[in-house]
Structure 1
Amino acid sequence: MNTNQHLDDLLQQWPFEPEALGVRLLKGEDGRDIIQLRVDLGILQLETTGRPDGLRPEGHATLLELLQQREGEDPTFELDDEISTEIDREFVQFYHRRVAWLRLQRFDRAVEDADHTLDLMDFCRENSPCEEWTFQHEQHRAFVLFHRSQACALAAIEDQMPAKAIEALDQGLEQIRESFEELGWEDQFESDELVERLIHLRESLTSDFSIEKSLSDQLSDAVASEQYELAAELRDRIAQREEA
């Protein structure tokens, strides 16, 4: 038995903390950037470009890229059990890296990985072998959109563009609403924890940066306070903006 292959020193030097997400960005032996995640039973190491596991399926950067090529070349293309399993692996890998980028505050990279996951979800929905398999992925779409919206907003704040951050949050909330409607979960939208967190972030940014409320928010407030003349004026302004 070769005792030189153990991870004792690494695990002892970087203990697992259940209440914290242990993530670090390091250099590999060849100088490339790598991400490491400290998990309960060890350390995960992820590549920062392409697939997190570093594999190139038949020479492609990701499995999605390969499958899109196959679909374009073969009109009879279908997803079988083996491909479905590999798709699920790619989902999990990009989830780990997306969370790592958020923890490292590399928000632009988190957005990129969220976009890949959403594209993969779209591909699965269009080519799914059954509704049950589709639902297994679609039920997590709101979570991916939450991460994406959060990352977009925080990236905009870093760039000192608070109005763009608010716009990203509004767009994300609308996309989550649409996802809930497609799943028949309309009644759960207002009370959903992820939705509440995005709304809270939007309100905090609006307050901290003294950003004027959107016309839609102003309209909602006017109706709620029975200021009907103001509400009519705001509706006209919204209609004019949509026609422009």
Structure 2
Amino acid sequence: MPVEQTQLLIVGWHMKPSPPDFDSLLKSWSYVPGEVSARRGHGADGRLVLQLRIDLGVLQMEADGRPDGVRPLGHDTYLDALRAEEAIAGEDFELDDDQCVEIDREFVQYYHRRVAWLALREFDHVVSDADHTLALMDFSSAHAPNDDWVEEHEQYRPFVLFHRTQAAALAELQRTDPEAAVLVIDEGFRQLRESLADLAAIVGEDLEDDEAYDFSTKLEELRRSILVEYDLEAPLDEQLANAIAHEEYELAAEIRDRMARRTRSRQS
């Protein structure tokens, strides 16, 4: 290579802009082990972004659309892209290895953003991202290449349902509707029980002692705290069960009468 060309290459290399210095950013926002720390920020064009502090740096995510801002195959999310492919392929559609990798990428991205929204107490956004994750889980399990894939991913469904139920209940409290929050938790209990039963069938073993059952305990604690803080009565069916358990049969009869009157009033 001529000397002149070599010199141009060297000069060009030295003239490349140096990468941004992130030292000041990381020093001004310390990482605290065991603590989820997130904040809102703005991109160069002024758009809203989310930033999540992690051990080795900062994750930045889009607040709208897919967290990485990419439009897979021209669609808003990879789930939308897969649904389009399924519509063309028909009933024989099955995920291949590359698609499984991309699904996992989307799972992880939505997990990080869901955690950031939780830390920021943006509970409606948590619900929305959890719904997307559950829909992606439904799709991937229905078209999985094998049972191992299903088991590997379905084990996280109780965790996502817990996040969703918790966030939906807290969103109702933000709207000052504690009764709706209790109903949300009750529905979450139902979905969580179904999920745990389905998971037990998939793995072929009893999950009574599994850590996933801790989610039910945490939801029960949240439910109880709402009833106490807002001085709410427990639902009539729960009051009836408690009265029977404590052999308070006159109270049980009164509760049954109240339930019957409520049923008649709804029917009229």
TM-score, length basis structure 1: 0.92
Percent of matched pairs sharing the same residue = 47
Report how many aligned residue pairs link the two structures: 244
User: 2:97 maps to what in 1?
Assistant: 81
Q: Deviations over 1:209-237 (max 9, x none)?
A: 11111123112212211234654675683
Given that 1:107 and 1:154 are in contact with CA atoms closer than 8 Å, whether structure 2 keeps it comes out as: yes
Distance 2:190 2:59 in 1: 34
SS state of the match for residue 79, structure 1?
coil
Aligned equivalents of 1:11 and 1:164: distance in 2?
A: 41
- Hey, what's the Cα distance between the residues in 2 that align with 1:132 and 1:31? 44
Q: Which among 152, 170, 174 is matched to residue 136 of structure 1?
A: 152
The equivalences for 1:53-92 within 5 A come to 53-75=68-90, 76-92=92-108
Residue in structure 1 matched with residue 230 of structure 2 by the alignment: 209
- Residues 124 and 190 of structure 1: is their aligned pair in 2 closer, same or farther, counting only changes over 3 Å? closer
Q: Distance in 1 between matches of 2:219 and 2:225?
A: 10
3-state SS in 2 of match to 1:54: coil
The SS at the match of 2:40 is strand
Deviations 1:53-91 (A, max 9, x none): 110001111000111111112113210011001101100
Q: How far 1:189 moved relative to its partner?
A: 7.7
Deviation by residue 1:151-188 (Cα, 9 ceiling, x = unmatched): 11111011111000000111111111111111224634
SS at match of 1:52: coil
C-alpha separation in 1, matches of 2:32 and 2:212: 31
| Corresponding residue number in structure 1 for 2:118 | 102
- The alignment status of 1:198 with 2:219, answered yes or no, reads yes
Match of 1:224 among 224, 234, 245: 245
d(CA) in 2 for partners of 1:201, 1:94: 24
Deviations 1:132-154 (A, max 9, x none): 11111111111111111111111
Say if 1:180 and 1:189, in contact at 8 Å, map to a contact too. Answer: no
TM-aligned CA distance change 1:189 to 1:42, over 3 Å: closer
Pair 1:45 & 2:66 matched: no
Q: Counterpart of 2:22?
A: 7
| Paired residues of 1:34 and 1:45 also in contact (CA < 8 A) | yes
Residues 190 and 205 (structure 1), Cα distance of their counterparts in 2 relative to 1, 3 Å cut = farther
CA RMSD of aligned residues (A): 2.4
Give CA deviations for 1:106-138 in whole Å, capped at 9, x if unaligned.
001000000000111111121111111111111
Gapped regions of structure 1 (runs ≥ 5): none
Q: Does the 8 Å CA contact 1:173/1:195 hold for their aligned counterparts?
A: yes
CA-CA distance at 1:14 after TM superposition:
1.4
AA matched with 2:19 = N
- Residues 92 and 230 of structure 1: CA distance in aligned 2, closer, same or farther (over 3 Å): same
The structure with the larger Rg is 2
CA distance in 1, matches of 2:230, 2:132: 31
